[in-house]
Structure 1
Amino acid sequence: MSLELNERQGVIVYLYHLKNSRQLRRFGTIHYVSRKMKYVILYTDRIKVPETVTRLSGMRYVRKVMVSPLPDVEISFADTVGKMYKLTDEDREKYKNNKE
């Protein structure tokens, strides 16, 4: 018996009224509801995202639907750290003096 993990992706749904936010449960797992800005963050299987977005866009109580770009963003910064910061001559001298 093996556990299969499905890749999930966030979908941000802006609503006209929050009373309809409970109906979004059938599209995925509701992660957060903002009462002030009237939006819901829900997570659904990555395979079903295009279908879910088209179905949500057709709902009357939905103002706007956005897909979270987080899975497409590179999170590893190991290569960029050395490129962003370069020691100046003054910093090198301080570093050498502290070693001695």
Structure 2
Amino acid sequence: MRTKRQGLIVWFQHMKNIKQLKRYGHLIAISRQSKYAVIYVDQDDVEDKVTKLESLPFISKVEPSFKPFIRQEFESKTAVKDKEYEYKMGI
């Protein structure tokens, strides 16, 4: 069974503390120029991890990702094209 995961965007001040972020979740990506990292954690532990990360001295802010809450079922383009060519003829 898959565990539900959620991303956390962690803004930091120095690159030298990146190894400490690995303790809190699965480190996916790091931006050296913008100074942020993306960490995936279990969805049940998000609030605990956010409070722990914000208490660290080198962390500026922590933002949760909203991807698990966004609807990912999209409509087909062909249905839109069918409606486009449907002409209403009034007599």
**Residues 21-40 of structure 1 correspond to what in structure 2 (within 5 A)?**
21-40=18-37
Quote the residue 2:12 is aligned against. 15
Deviations 1:3-55 (A, max 9, x none): x3211100000000111111011100000000000000010111100000000
Structure of greater Rg: 1
RMSD: 2.4
TM-score, normalisation: structure 2 = 0.83
Aligned residues: 87
Following superposition, the deviation at residue 58 of structure 1 comes to 0.7
Amino acid at match of 1:60: P
Give the equivalent residue in structure 1 for 2:56.
59
**Ranges of 4+ aligned residues in structure 1 off by more than 2 Å:** none
Structure 1: runs of 5 or more not aligned? 94-100
Matched-pair identity in %: 33
TM-score by length of 1: 0.76
Unaligned runs of 5+ in 2: none
Bigger fraction of residues in helix: 1
> 1:70 is aligned with what amino acid?
K
Whose RCO is larger (CA < 8 A, sep 6+)? Answer: 2
